[in-house]
Structure 1
Amino acid sequence: MKSLLVYYDPELTTKLEDIPIPSYNEDEVLIKVVIAGSNPKDWKHPMPQYFNSKLNQGDDVGGVVAAVGANVQHFRPGDRVAGFHQMNTPRGTYAEYTVCPAHTVFHIPASMSFEEAATIPLAAFTAAVGLYRNLLFPLPTTLPSSTANSPPAPKTPLIINGAASSVGHFAAQLARLNPSIRPIIGLASAASRPAALESGCDIVIDYRSPSATVIAELTDALGGAECSHVFDAVNSVQSLAYLLPVIRSEGGRYTCTTGLRSAGIYTKKEGEVEQAELLERKGVWFKQIWVGSVHDDVVGGGRVFGGEVARLFEALVGEGRLRGLPGRVVDGLERVEEALVGMRSGGKEWRGKVGVRV
């Protein structure tokens, strides 16, 4: 079969290989790839200052089950599925066949295209880890604390910075499922406001306004109170200028999608203050989202959570309550390099999700 390596030598490079169809273990699913989804991590992770890896970097897939391991009971050959491949390991989705752990695969309905399905797994699992594991919101399957004889549960505001990003799109949809998470306050550009509202935000504030204006609008949206839960999908020192003034210092929780400390990945300029330092000064609990944790094999840990969330996704896509993202689809593994370079450069035509038709 055809499989694509992604690496730096010294610039971003891809190499198409002919290799055997990959083997799979008793807890894995072999999937015939129809669409492989691309993510920013696909060009970031092989960088020398990250993992310096040379492998098939694809992790999102929409396709058809070709075979299942001996312990797999939920899937059978011919099923239409979306799956999240284990990051930074071989047998990725930039190939004719890929292997995913069964617990991060979910069925998709006939009404959902493979193109849409391939936009969901990594970004949606990232949103779930941020909301449920880091911010400690209950899963939508958790019964509310209020009953017919008790007052309604208090509302808990949530701020989503980057509400129109891929991860923000899924964070808003998942948060919307819990009626006690209100208001959902999104930060996005004015042009992206309709998309953020459609995803589930109650209020959308233009983050490009002056910081003082953004802070005032956030304060107004929060009714003058501070916010205990902030999901930052496009975190930066600049965004903390308007987020920190409204985060509760005692009991506040902040989670984000990229690194909080330079850790040798970026050169810290003289006098520069890292996000972690700013959050520590405020006294806020904070943690980066590591979506790969859904594949961690620890007792009661990531795999259990990942499996529970995958079944939730399966139910939601079947009911039409979890939707993928619009994006561009290119034909052929040969065009992955073009797509990744375009995504890295920020070119307008490559913004959003990019799928590769295999």
Structure 2
Amino acid sequence: MPKQAIVQPSIEAVEIIETPIPTPEDKEVVIKVVVSGANPKDWKYPLWYIFPNIGFACLESVGDDIAGTVHSVGKNVYEFRPGDRVAAFHEAGTANGSFAEYAVAPDWTTFHVPHNVSFEEAATVPLAALTAAIALYVDMKLPVPYNLKQSPEGEKRVPILIYGASSAVGAFAAKFARLSKLSPIIGVAGQGSGFAKTLVDYVVDYRKGEDALVADVEEILAKEGLGSKVPNVFDAISENGSLEATLRFLDPNGGTVSTVLPPRLFAKDKENFKYPSGVIAINSAVPRVHSTHKDFGYLWSRYLGRLLEDGRLKAHPYEVIPGGLNGILTGLKKLKDGNASAVKYVYLIEDTNDVSTLGITGQRENRIESPSSHQLKDFPFLGSK
């Protein structure tokens, strides 16, 4: 019987269980997983905390980046058929995530993987790319790459600063910003600065300290003749001081900022952190592509396939964690310890051993702790403005 990995709430053990191949609902695609991608959310937001009312089945849903071949489709799916090479964004808070031999995704966040793109590359794309897209084009309302007007000589440029430009989400944001002809693109990075330099016009190193970071950004803006404040900021980190730093160079009178985490949960001073009244601030929550923004998820999933096929978009650098499902705990701990720099961890599911060698095996135990004390209990998964 196919296997599935269950990550325990402590992130200290992974249980490998046997589970039947899922049966697709009307608009679902069942995918035989070749490669699963890992994301920081897999250890930061354990779903048994975020969705305590869904029930025990939510323990089976960790892992949202899927790359593999179609096994079966629901009766109302017409774009995919068994055997197709696909990548998909699994719906958070539902069963049958990508840490398994078979996973499920809605057809509107599934897309064909071009033959020039490997499954490893494809597994780096769905969640990160859709997060960047919904931030830039839904929330920040920046010009989309496929509807650009000819720029008259002397037309005002559209600058953007991306905090965390070497992260998967930040890197895709930088790539989209380039396709949208935003300029200049300023990236904030640290250890991954070398990679960030391939994506943006300027790289600022946050490790020099907040004052130096702000000074460097202001120097770039002055050099470009853009004053001293940035009109558009995408914070792909949204913790550990990034919120406070970006507040210092964001235009207080008409600036727009998108964060991937809500400031009220991740600011240093959660009670008192706030943006000026002239700032449009949005927490960009990608799960909206499965609820309030299904059309956006549909259009951009297909657009991602096209961009990958013709080379306008490249996948994120990746590192294969050995052991398949048995390597999930290793990958999650590496993410938690901050070891991922300009790289995305992926798992080759076929490398899973026949016998589980890590964590807890056998029957599952209901170890769900009370969500009342977890810092993410009020996480705004439908976004907030």
Q: TM-score, normalised by structure 1?
A: 0.87
Aligned twin of 1:203: 202
Deviation at 1:352, TM superposition (A): 3.1
Query: Alignment partner of 1:337: what SS?
Result: helix
Deviation at 1:172, TM superposition (A): 0.4
Deviates more, 1:151-160 or 1:101-110: 151-160
Does 2:264 align with 1:261? yes
Aligned twin of 1:63: 68
Deviations 1:186-236 (A, max 9, x none): 0112x42221122x2011111122333322221122232421110011123
Aligned twin of 1:239: 242
Aligned twin of 1:158: 160
Deviation at 1:85, TM superposition (A): 0.5
Aligned twin of 1:331: 323
Does the 8 A contact of 1:84 with 1:105 survive in 2? Answer: yes
Give the one of 280, 284, 291 matched to 2:279: 284
Does the 8 A contact of 2:235 with 2:257 survive in 1? Answer: yes
Deviation at 1:238, TM superposition (A): 2.2
Deviates more, 1:280-289 or 1:77-86: 280-289
Number of residue pairs the alignment of both structures matches: 338
Amino acid at match of 1:158: I
Alpha-carbon distance in structure 1 between the residues aligned to 2:27 and 2:50: 29
Amino acid at match of 2:257: Y
Aligned twin of 1:114: 119
Alpha-carbon distance in structure 1 between the residues aligned to 2:200 and 2:277: 26
Give the one of 170, 173, 177 matched to 1:171: 173
Deviation at 1:327, TM superposition (A): 2.2
Deviation at 1:16, TM superposition (A): 1.5
Higher strand share: 1
Does the 8 A contact of 2:233 with 2:256 survive in 1? Answer: yes
Counterparts of 1:176-325 in structure 2, within 5 Å, are 176-179=178-181, 181-189=182-190, 191-198=191-198, 200-223=199-222, 224-236=227-239, 238-262=241-265, 273-274=269-270, 277-281=272-276, 283-296=278-291, 298=292, 302-325=293-316
Amino acid at match of 1:171: A
Counterparts of 1:4-83 in structure 2, within 5 Å, are 4-8=5-9, 10=10, 12-46=12-46, 50-51=50-51, 54-83=59-88
Give the one of 320, 331, 338 matched to 1:346: 338
Aligned twin of 2:366: none
Deviations 1:129-155 (A, max 9, x none): 111111111221224275xxx556421
Q: TM-score, normalised by structure 2?
A: 0.81
Alpha-carbon distance in structure 2 between the residues aligned to 1:336 and 1:240: 30
Say if 1:20 and 1:237 are closer, same or farther in 2 by CA, change over 3 A.
closer
Deviation at 1:63, TM superposition (A): 0.6
Alpha-carbon distance in structure 2 between the residues aligned to 1:326 and 1:340: 17
Alpha-carbon distance in structure 2 between the residues aligned to 1:332 and 1:247: 43
Does the 8 A contact of 1:37 with 1:356 survive in 2? Answer: yes
Unpaired runs of 5+ residues, structure 1, are none
Give the one of 63, 88, 91 matched to 2:96: 91
Deviation at 1:4, TM superposition (A): 1.5
Deviation at 1:342, TM superposition (A): 2.8
Does the 8 A contact of 2:128 with 2:169 survive in 1? Answer: yes
Alpha-carbon distance in structure 2 between the residues aligned to 1:192 and 1:341: 19
Query: Alignment partner of 1:156: what SS?
Result: coil
Say if 1:13 and 1:331 are closer, same or farther in 2 by CA, change over 3 A.
closer
Alpha-carbon distance in structure 2 between the residues aligned to 1:232 and 1:326: 20
- Report % sequence identity: 37
Deviates more, 1:46-55 or 1:227-236: 46-55
Aligned twin of 2:361: none
Query: Alignment partner of 1:67: what SS?
Result: strand
Does the 8 A contact of 1:328 with 1:353 survive in 2? Answer: yes
Amino acid at match of 1:338: T
Runs of 4+ aligned residues of structure 1 deviating over 6 Å after TM superposition are none
